[in-house]
Amino acid sequence: MGILTKAPRGTQDILPAKSAPWQAMERELIATAQRFGFQEIRTPTFEHTELFSRSVGDTTDVVQKEMYTFTDKGDRSITLRPEGTAGAARAVIEHGLLSEALPVKVSYLLSCFRYEKPQAGRLREFHQFGAELYGSASPAADADLIALASQALANIGIREVSLEINSIGCPNCRPAYLQALRDYFEAHREKLCPTCLERLQKNPLRILDCKNPDCAAVAKDAPLVLDHLCGDCRDHFDGLRARLDTLAIPYTVNPRIVRGLDYYTRTVFEFVSGGIGAQSTVCGGGRYDGLIGELGGPQTPALGFAMGLERLLLVLEAQGNPPPAAESCDLYIAPMGETAAVKAFQLANLLRDEGYYAETDLMGRSLRAQMKYADKLGAKFSLVLGEDELAKGEGMLKDMESGETLPLPLGEGLLEEVDRRMAARAYAQLEKSIQENLED
């Protein structure tokens, strides 16, 4: 296939036949976020490169290896966003949102770009749903955010998922822990990959996240951050755990989660789902109390998470959830002849204006072919318009499932009759499904 008819590696088209599950998932995520008081924020697809190297951290894989960075025609270094937290933080600082009533809660649905090795659940352009909460240092905020993630996953139909939490300390206790890590890895330096040797001085925490099997083998016995927390960090962690217990949200403490981004402090967490292979983390997040200040905003504690929508769809598929059906056509109008085609066009638009999904012929098909096409659209009703119907000012509205036909006035009273028939059909279907449920 030529380059003109092949999408770039690691990208994916969502074709019309596959868009219904995306739309259903996105609607549910946004609606859940709203119930928790998170309102949508939309930020640019690209930002100044510096924003990501400062916030995500320049010792991370994301910044070192995965960013789509280019120089624009004005000689600025620009990067396609690899994640959503940095852009949202920049926006709330820039527009002074943090000087209004706190907490500020935002959510987003966006595409992210990372130059990674494409595989199942790992793309170069992928989509995230995320939420960020600014202004609260309380563990109650951590629990609020985790509760949102947990309900969002449940509401889109994810069943088997486990929550793992950890604390990675704060600027008070982390230096001593980093020193303990350095001492440990220093004693095993011959087994570390070249990147980790560099990380040893700059950011030994990153070694714990290295995907190289030799580094991972050494990291297995490294000192645990939970053994090095200061009193405040321990209290915070205990507070979060108590809140999660109150909500009966099950979790395990996994002292090995450090997360791949530099801005985290204290709480970090992941939701992990089995059954989709190696890329099993569907959601990752945590607290980042230093980031807003680091970017030049007012010192503001904050936290957030992001979930990968492609991975969530993989989980739903693996679970065998039936994909939601696309909207089917309410009424197909099949004209015969040019005069009828004009009337059909007019009627279809009238019905669309009323909120119905109405369709008519744009292909000059025969009546037979039109009825076949109406079936393909899953049309609930059809209406044939020929010379006779136009002369009489009345057609026959046909229920495509039962075959039942009833007269439909083409002028006055048309909308009322369509409304009546649509409502009666919906009612009959509801009754049928209630009956079926009772019999189950």
Please, what is the minimum distance in Å from the beta carbon of residue 55 to ligand ATP?
12
Shortest spacing between CB 135 and ligand ATP, in angstroms:
22
- Residues of this chain, 99-118, that bind ligand ATP according to CB under 6 A: 114, 116
> Is residue 55 part of the contact set for ligand ATP (CB under 6 A)?
no
Residue 94 structure tokens:
């820039």
Nearer to ligand ATP, 285 or 335 (CB): 285
272-291 residues in contact with ligand ATP (CB under 6 A) are 279, 281-284
Output the smallest distance, CB 243 to ligand ATP, in A.
22
CB-nearer residue toward ligand ATP: 302 or 329? 302
Helix axis angle, 231-246 to 139-155, nearest 10°: 40
DSSP 334: E
Q: Which range touches ligand ATP (CB under 6 A), out of 45-53, 303-311, 341-349, 359-367? A: 303-311
Question: Closest separation between CB of residue 123 and ligand ATP, Å?
Answer: 4
User: Cβ of residue 181: shortest distance to ligand ATP, in angstroms?
Assistant: 19
Residue nearest to ligand ATP (CB): 308
Pair 133, 141: CB distance under 8 Å: yes
- Of residues 230, 229, 209, 227, the one with CA closest to residue 218: 209
307: contact with ligand ATP by CB under 6 A? yes
Q: Which is nearer to ligand ATP, 123 or 303 (CB)?
A: 123
Residue with tokens 């000192």: 223
| Binding of residue 256 to ligand ATP (CB under 6 A) | no
With 0-12 / 13-18 / 19 or more C-beta atoms within 10 angstroms meaning exposed / middle / buried, residue 330 is buried
3-state secondary structure of 108: strand
- H/E element holding 163? strand 162-167
Under the binding rule (CB under 6 A), the answer on residue 144 touching ligand ATP is no
Q: For residue 83, state whether it binds ligand ATP (rule: CB under 6 A).
A: yes
308 part of the interface to ligand ATP, by CB under 6 A: yes
Per CB under 6 A, 399 contacts ligand ATP = no
- Spatial distance between the Cα atoms of 412 and 402, rounded to a whole number of angstroms: 26
| Cβ count near 34 (within 10 Å) | 13
> Please, what sign has the CA dihedral across residues 16, 18, 21, 22?
negative
Q: Which of 157, 239, 260, 378 binds ligand ATP (CB under 6 A)?
A: 260
**333 in Cβ contact with 327 (< 8 Å):** no
Could you tell me which residues are beta bridge partners of residue 165? 253, 269
Nearer Cβ to ligand ATP, position 62 or 331?
62
- What is the footprint of ligand ATP within residues 8-47 (CB under 6 A)? none
* Residue 310 is a binding residue for ligand ATP (CB under 6 A): yes
The CA radius of gyration of the chain, in Å to the nearest whole number, is 28
| Distance (Å, whole) CA 370 – CA 421 | 22
Q: Which residues bind ligand ATP (CB under 6 A)?
A: 83, 114, 116, 121-123, 126, 128, 260-261, 279, 281-284, 306-308, 310-311
